[in-house]
C-alpha cells in the first residue's frame, strides 16, 4: 500500500495484498471462493479498517445469485457491514483517529481482511460489546431505524408488527421498538423462533405456519389493527397487511421474499388513510446514511451501552467458510445474525 501524502498509517507495513471472498459467478453458496486482491488505500473522507468481523445479510445472498449488483463505485466483494480497527486515514478525516475500534456500514467489500469505510458511516463500538459482535450492528440497525422510525414514524405507545421476527432485522426491530415504548408483535416460523421473539420484547409472537396473523392481530388489538408494519415478505402478505393496519397506519416494505406482485383492494388505503412506503438502504446517498448514523448514535447507542438491547448473534464462521454461512442463511434456521470472523 502506497501511503504517499494521501493517508496516515497506523502501521509501517500494511500488506500489499489481502484475502477476500469473491463471487466467482452467479450461483449457490459454493461460488463464494477465496481470492487475493490489492489492499486498497483510503481516499478523501475514507479510512482503511483492519476487519475483525463482517456481518452476513440477505442482500449478500441476492448479490451472490446475480440479482443485486453493487451500486456504481462499490467493490464487487460482498459484505455490507464490518467491525475492526482503523489503520489508515484518508485526507479530510477528522472524526476518527488511528487505532479507533469501530463498526460501519459499507457499500460492499466487507468479506475481506481490510475494508474501506466512509468516515461518516463509522460508529464507535458500544461500551460493553465485543469488537467481533459489533459487526452485527450496522446493516440491521441502519435498516430498522430508517424504515421503522423515519419512514414508519413509530411513536411511543403505538403498536408495531414485524414479519420475520427471528431474523437479524426482526430481532433488532423488536428490541429497539420495545425499548422506545412501542407494543410489538412479530411473526416467525416455529415455536422456538416465536419464543425467542417474545424473550426479546414482543408482546405476542405469531407462528405463521399454524396461525393467521391477520386474525391474531385483529383479536389482539380489539379489531383496531396496528399502527406500523415492517414487512420483508410481500406477495399475499400485502393485502393482509393493509387489512391489519389501524387508522392512519403505515406499511413499510424492505423486501419481497414472496414476490413484489399482488392483487390488492386499495379502498381500505383511502378509507383508513394508510401510508404504503418502503426503501432500500444500499443505494442511498452518503448524506442520507450519515444522518441515520447520527440518529443511531444519539438514540440507540445509549441503549446498547446500558445493556437494554444487544445484537443477537446466531452463528460465527471464519471468513474462508463464507459459503457455509450463506447456506445457513438460505436454510432460514438461524435466529439473529450470522457473522464472519477474520
**CATH number of the domain that 162 lies in?**
3.40.50.720
If one counts the domains in the chain, the total is 2
Residue 341 has pLDDT above 60, yes or no: yes
Let me know whether 258 and 217 are in one domain.
yes
Let me know whether 237 and 116 are in one domain.
no
Residue 9 makes CB contacts below 8 A (sequence gap 6+) with: 1, 3, 87, 88, 98
Let me know whether 150 and 268 are in one domain.
yes
Let me know whether 86 and 118 are in one domain.
yes
62 located within any domain: no
Let me know whether 133 and 144 are in one domain.
no
Q: Supply the pTM of this predicted model.
A: 0.95
44 located within any domain: yes
What residues are paired with 109 via a beta bridge?
Answer: none
Let me know whether 144 and 121 are in one domain.
no
Contact status, residue 59 vs residue 282, Cβ threshold 8 Å = yes
Average pLDDT value over all residues in the chain: 96
Let me know whether 133 and 49 are in one domain.
yes
Q: Which of 278, 300, 324 is the last residue of a domain?
A: 278
Q: How confident is the model at residue 109 (pLDDT cuts 50, 70, 90)?
A: very high
Q: Could you read off the pLDDT of 201-258 as tens digits, one per residue?
A: 999 999 999 999 999 999 999 999 999 999 999 999 999 999 999 999 999 999 999 9
Let me know whether 11 and 106 are in one domain.
yes
Query: Domain of 190?
Result: 140-278
Say if strands 183-188 and 114-118 run parallel, antiparallel, or are unpaired. unpaired
Residue 8 has pLDDT above 70, yes or no: no
303 located within any domain: no
Q: CA-to-CA distance for 276 and 74, rounded, in angstroms?
A: 30
Amino acid at each position: 500500500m502506497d501511503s504517499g501524502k494521501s493517508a496516515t498509517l497506523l502501521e509501517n507495513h500494511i500488506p500489499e495484498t489481502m484475502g477476500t471472498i469473491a463471487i466467482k459467478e452467479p450461483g449457490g453458496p459454493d461460488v463464494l471462493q477465496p481470492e487475493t486482491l490489492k489492499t486498497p488505500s483510503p481516499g478523501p473522507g475514507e479510512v482503511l479498517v483492519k476487519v475483525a468481523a463482517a456481518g452476513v445479510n440477505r442482500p449478500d445472498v441476492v448479490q451472490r445469485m446475480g440479482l443485486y449488483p453493487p451500486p456504481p463505485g462499490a467493490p464487487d466483494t460482498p459484505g455490507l457491514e464490518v467491525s475492526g480497527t482503523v489503520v489508515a486515514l484518508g485526507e479530510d478525516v477528522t472524526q476518527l483517529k488511528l487505532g479507533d475500534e469501530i463498526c460501519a456500514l459499507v457499500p460492499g467489500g466487507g468479506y475481506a481482511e481490510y475494508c474501506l469505510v466512509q468516515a461518516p458511516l463509522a460508529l464507535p463500538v458500544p461500551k460493553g460489546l465485543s469488537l467481533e459482535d459489533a459487526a452485527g450492528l450496522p446493516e440491521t440497525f441502519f435498516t430498522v431505524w430508517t424504515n421503522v422510525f423515519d419512514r414508519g414514524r413509530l411513536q411511543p405507545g403505538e403498536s408495531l408488527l414485524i414479519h420475520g421476527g427471528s431474523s437479524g432485522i426482526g430481532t433488532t426491530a423488536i428490541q429497539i421498538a420495545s425499548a422506545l415504548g412501542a407494543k410489538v408483535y412479530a411473526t416467525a416460523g416455529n415455536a422456538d423462533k416465536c419464543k425467542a421473539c417474545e424473550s426479546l420484547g414482543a408482546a405476542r409472537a405469531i407462528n405463521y405456519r399454524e396461525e393467521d396473523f391477520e386474525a391474531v392481530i385483529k383479536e389482539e388489538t380489539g379489531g383496531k389493527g396496528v399502527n406500523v408494519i415492517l414487512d420483508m415478505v410481500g406477495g399475499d402478505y400485502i393485502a393482509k397487511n393493509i387489512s391489519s393496519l389501524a387508522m392512519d397506519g403505515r406499511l413499510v416494505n424492505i423486501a419481497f421474499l414472496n414476490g413484489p406482485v399482488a392483487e390488492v383492494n386499495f379502498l381500505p388505503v383511502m378509507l383508513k388513510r394508510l401510508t404504503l412506503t418502503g426503501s432500500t438502504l444500499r443505494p442511498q446517498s452518503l448524506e442520507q446514511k450519515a444522518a441515520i448514523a447520527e440518529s443511531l448514535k444519539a438514540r440507540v447507542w445509549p441503549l446498547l451501552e446500558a445493556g437494554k438491547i444487544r445484537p443477537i448473534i446466531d452463528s460465527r464462521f471464519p471468513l474462508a467458510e463464507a459459503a457455509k454461512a450463506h447456506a445457513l442463511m438460505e436454510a432460514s434456521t438461524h435466529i439473529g445474525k450470522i457473522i464472519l470472523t477474520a
